Amino acid sequence: MSRYVEDGTLDMGLTGRDWIIENDSDVYEIQDLIYSKTSAKQARRVLVVREDSPLRKIEELEGKRLSTELLHFTKRYFKERGINVHVEFSWGATEAKVVEGLVDAIVEVTETGSTIRANNLKIIHELMRTNTVLIANHAAWNDPWKRQKIEQIRTLLNGSLQAMGMVGIKMNVARNNLDRVIRLLPSLRAPTISSLYSEDWLAIETILDANTVRDLIPLLQEGGAEGIIEYPLNKVI
């Protein structure tokens, strides 16, 4: 992706920072978008060996054989540290190569390390941290019309990330219970409060962390809230 954007085949794109470095791509980096399949954290490129391997640190890889899809970066990384290794490109199933003893180690991407542990492997060194980056071709970024469109896409992407792990919640509250309920509610700024047909009742709506809802709803009920509705969010801008 970074090469397509660099040469102008595409005006913009999403790619991993590791692939920008791997391809040594000259692109305009608009924004880091830090998220992964399982968390809102960066992924890692790590050096991995078998659980029963005697290798414990990167210096012990001298003269060993590695496999990775991140070929050029890995070669540069070891060369800069004066460690002579044979690095070969992995055509997929990288973990299997070290499991079966075809290579001494691999350089692989991981989010939580669970797949590595499941294959009876262990991490002995972290080479880099990486995340998704919104990138643009320099000519496209310098074009006012294209930049405006790219900025609009950035806004929508940011809105989607802001909405991850958040939900909206709304409820009806009798006016005399309002203070009690408001004290329970976290919010981006302040809850939205509007009048209902009956002057004695109010509608309250707010946004909060999805992890807090399970514990919060019973407290809201005890505080006098009724008709509580929880709904997912697509974007928060």
How confident is the model at residue 38, as a pLDDT? 65
Tell me the pTM.
0.78
How confident is the model at residue 168, as a pLDDT? 92
How confident is the model at residue 189, as a pLDDT? 61
How confident is the model at residue 163, as a pLDDT? 87
Per-residue pLDDT of the chain (237 residues; tens, 9 = 90+): 999 999 999 999 999 999 999 999 999 999 999 876 666 788 999 999 999 999 999 999 999 999 999 999 999 999 999 999 999 999 888 989 999 999 999 999 998 888 899 889 999 999 999 999 999 999 999 999 999 999 999 999 999 988 888 899 999 999 999 999 998 887 656 788 999 888 899 999 999 888 889 899 999 999 999 999 999 999 888
How confident is the model at residue 191, as a pLDDT? 86
How confident is the model at residue 80, as a pLDDT? 96
Please list the residues that pair with 152 across neighbouring strands.
none
Do residues 180 and 224 make contact, with C-beta atoms less than 8 angstroms apart? Answer: yes
Domain ranges of the chain: 2-35+132-162, 43-130, 165-232
Q: Which CATH architecture has domain 43-130?
A: 3-Layer(aba) Sandwich (3.40)
What is the CATH T-level fold of the domain 165-232, as seen in this structure?
Alpha-Beta Plaits (3.30.70)
What is the dotted CATH code of the domain comprising 2-35+132-162? 3.40.190.10
Identical topology for domains 43-130 and 165-232: no
How confident is the model at residue 164, as a pLDDT? 85
